[in-house]
Structure 1
Amino acid sequence: TDSSGNCWRASAYIESKTFHRPLNNEQLGQAVEGFARYTALLSDLDPASLYPTIKDFHNLSLRYNQFNESIEKGNPERVKHCAPLIDQLIQREGYARFFLQMQEASADFKKRVMHHDAKLSNLLFDETGTNLLAITDLDTTMPGYFFSDMGDMVRSMAASVDENCVE
Structure 2
Amino acid sequence: MYVMKEILTAWQWDGPVSEPVPYGEGHINQTYAITVTSEQGAKRYILQKINTNTFKDPAGLMENVCGITDFLREKAKQRGADPARATLHVVPTKEEKPYYQAADGSCWRVYDFVEDTVCLQQVQSAEDFYQSAVAFGNFQHQLADYPAHTLHETIPHFHDTPKRFVDFQRAVAEDRMGRAAQVQREIELVRAREAEYHVMVDLLAAGKLPLRVTHNDTKLNNILFDKTTGEGLCVIDLDTVMPGLAANDFGDSIRFGANHCAEDEADLSKVNFSMELFEIYTKGFLQAAGETFTPLEKQTLPWGAKLMTMECGMRFLADYLEGDHYFHINYETQNLNRARTQFKLTADMERNWDAMQKVIEKYC
Interval of TM-score (by shorter of Structure 1 and Structure 2): 0.7 to 0.9
Structure 1 equivalent of residue 222 of structure 2:
122
Report the counterpart of residue 139 of structure 1 in structure 2. 239
Note the 1:7-156 alignment, pairs <5 A: 8-75=109-176, 77-106=178-207, 108-127=208-227, 130-156=230-256
TM superposition shift of 1:69 = 0.8
Partner of 2:310: none
Amino acid in the other structure paired with 1:154: I
The separation in 2 between residues aligned to 1:74 and 1:128, in whole angstroms, is: 51
Deviation for aligned residue 1:19: 2.8
TM-score, reference length from structure 1: 0.84
Q: CA deviation at 1:71?
A: 0.8
Query: Cα distance 1:141–1:76, how it changes in 2: closer, same or farther (>3 A)?
Result: closer
Matched letter for residue 130 of structure 2? G
**Mean Cα deviation higher: 143-152 or 2-11:** 2-11
Deviation at 1:7, TM superposition (A): 6.7
Q: Please state how far the C-alpha of 1:94 moved relative to its aligned partner.
A: 2.0
Structure 2 spans left out of the alignment, 5+ residues: 1-96, 265-326, 338-364
Decide whether the 8 Å contact of 2:134 with 2:232 is kept in 1: no
**CA–CA separation in structure 2 for the residues paired with 1:17 and 1:25:** 17
| Secondary structure in structure 2 of the residue aligned to 1:96 | helix
Asked if the contact 2:140–2:213 (Cα under 8 Å) also holds between the matched residues in 1, the reply is yes
Q: CA RMSD in A?
A: 2.5
Could you tell which deviates more after superposition, 79-88 or 24-33? 79-88
Q: Which residue type is aligned with residue 252 of structure 2? A: D
Equivalent in the alignment of 2:34 = none
Any stretches of 5+ residues in structure 1 without a counterpart? none
Question: Which has more radius of gyration?
Answer: 2
Report the TM-score when normalising by structure 2: 0.41
1:18–1:85 Cα change, 3 Å: farther
Relative contact order higher in (CA < 8 Å, ≥ 6 apart): 1
Greater fraction strand: 2
Q: Percent identity?
A: 25
* AA partner of residue 32 (structure 1): A
Preserved contact between residue 17 and residue 129 of structure 1 (Cα < 8 Å): no
